[in-house]
C-alpha cells in the first residue's frame, strides 16, 4: 500500500515539476510589429493570458497542451506545445489579418405618417420576454415570448428529460466540466465578453456551433438571444443549462 502511495505522490510531484511558465511574442505577419492585447488560451488547462505592448505573453504549459491565439480581425492560431518550444524559448507566433469583403446594404427606414397613433401601430414590436443571468451585470436579455404559456413551457422543459441535452452533455462530460474553470478565469471571461462568433467557446468546449445553438434552444432560450448575445452570456447560459441537467440526473 505504501508503494502505491509513493508512486501516486511521485506522479503528482512530477506533473507539478513538468509544468512550465512559457513565454513568447506575437507579431503581425504583414508589418512584423508586435501585437498587444492578443488573447492566448491554454485550451488543455483552461487558463488565459494576454500580450503586452511588446507582444509578449506568459502562460503555464505542459508538453502537448494546445494554445489558441485570438484577436479581432485576425485568423486564429492553434498550436500544440512541444519540447523544443519550452526548451529553447524565444518563440515568435505570427498572426495573419483577415480580408473582409463588404457587401452593399440597402437601408429602408420606416415610413412615418406624422400621426402618432398610426405610426405606433405600424412600428414593429419586440414580443420577447426579458430576463437576467446570475453573475452578470443587471442587463436584460430576450428569452421567448411574453405569453404566460411560455413560462409553463420553460418549467416543463426543466422537469422533463431532454434527449438532446442528454446526448450533448453525456457525450461531452469532460468538456462540460471545463465550464466552471472557464467562468473562474478572468482572462477568458474578458475575452468572451468582447466576442460574438462562438469560436473560442467551440475550441474550449470541443463542440460544434450547431450544438451550442441546439443546447440553448432546448433550454428555452430565444433565437434572438442565441444570435445577439456575446460569448460570455452564452457561456453563462450553457452553464446554467448544464447545472439544471445535472440536477435532473441526480
DSSP 137: -
Does one domain contain both 235 and 185? Answer: yes
Task: Determine the Cα–Cα distance for residues 232 and 206; give it in Å rounded to an integer.
Answer: 16
Neighbour tally for 175: CB within 10 Å: 14
Contacts of 108 (CB under 8 A, 6+ apart): none
The C-alpha cell that represents 60 in the structure block: 503555464
Does one domain contain both 243 and 181? Answer: yes
pLDDT number for residue 148: 46
Asked, for residue 106, whether it belongs to a domain, the answer is: no
Q: Is 15 helix (H, G, I), strand (E, B) or coil?
A: helix
Asked, for residue 79, whether it belongs to a domain, the answer is: yes
Asked, for residue 87, whether it belongs to a domain, the answer is: yes
Contacts of 20 (CB under 8 A, 6+ apart): 60, 61, 62, 86
Asked, for residue 76, whether it belongs to a domain, the answer is: yes
Count of domains observed in the chain: 2
199 closest CA partner among 231, 237, 164: 231
Does one domain contain both 27 and 141? Answer: no
Asked, for residue 109, whether it belongs to a domain, the answer is: no
Does one domain contain both 86 and 130? Answer: no
Q: Which portions of the chain are predicted below pLDDT 50?
A: 6-17, 133-141, 144-162
pLDDT number for residue 110: 58
Does one domain contain both 217 and 131? Answer: yes
Q: What is the pLDDT of residues 4-40, one digit of tens each?
A: 554 444 444 444 445 789 999 999 999 999 999 999 9
Domain of 36, CATH number, reads 2.60.40.1120
Does one domain contain both 159 and 218? Answer: yes
Instruction: Look up the domain containing 230 and give its range.
Output: 126-249
Does one domain contain both 89 and 179? Answer: no
Asked, for residue 199, whether it belongs to a domain, the answer is: yes
Task: Determine the Cα–Cα distance for residues 196 and 182; give it in Å rounded to an integer.
Answer: 16
Does one domain contain both 62 and 153? Answer: no
The answer to whether the beta carbons of residues 191 and 41 sit under 8 Å apart is yes
Asked, for residue 27, whether it belongs to a domain, the answer is: yes
pLDDT number for residue 171: 63
Asked, for residue 119, whether it belongs to a domain, the answer is: no
DSSP 66: E
pLDDT number for residue 220: 84
Amino acid at each position: 500500500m505504501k508503494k502505491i502511495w509513493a508512486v501516486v505522490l511521485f506522479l503528482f510531484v512530477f506533473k507539478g515539476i513538468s509544468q512550465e511558465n512559457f513565454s513568447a511574442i506575437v507579431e503581425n505577419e504583414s508589418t512584423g510589429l508586435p501585437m498587444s492585447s492578443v488573447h492566448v488560451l491554454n485550451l488543455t488547462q483552461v487558463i488565459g493570458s494576454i500580450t503586452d505592448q511588446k507582444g509578449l505573453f506568459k502562460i503555464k504549459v505542459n508538453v502537448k497542451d494546445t494554445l489558441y491565439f485570438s484577436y479581432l480581425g485576425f485568423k486564429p492560431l492553434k498550436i500544440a506545445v512541444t519540447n523544443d518550444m519550452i526548451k529553447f524559448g524565444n518563440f515568435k507566433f505570427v498572426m495573419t489579418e483577415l480580408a473582409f469583403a463588404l457587401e452593399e446594404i440597402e437601408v429602408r427606414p420606416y415610413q412615418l405618417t406624422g400621426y402618432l397613433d398610426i405610426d405606433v401601430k405600424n412600428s414593429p414590436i419586440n414580443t420577447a420576454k426579458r430576463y437576467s443571468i446570475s453573475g452578470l451585470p443587471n442587463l436584460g436579455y430576450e428569452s421567448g415570448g411574453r405569453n404566460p404559456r411560455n413560462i409553463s413551457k420553460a418549467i416543463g422543459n426543466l422537469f422533463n428529460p431532454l434527449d438532446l441535452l442528454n446526448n450533448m452533455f453525456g457525450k461531452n462530460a469532460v468538456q462540460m466540466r471545463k465550464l466552471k474553470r472557464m467562468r473562474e478565469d478572468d482572462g477568458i471571461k474578458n475575452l468572451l465578453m468582447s466576442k460574438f462568433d462562438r469560436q473560442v467557446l467551440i475550441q474550449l468546449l470541443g463542440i460544434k456551433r450547431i450544438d451550442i445553438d441546439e443546447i440553448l434552444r432546448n433550454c428555452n432560450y430565444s433565437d434572438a438571444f442565441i444570435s445577439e448575445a456575446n460569448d460570455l452570456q452564452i457561456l453563462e447560459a450553457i452553464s446554467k443549462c448544464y447545472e439544471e441537467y445535472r440536477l435532473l440526473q441526480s
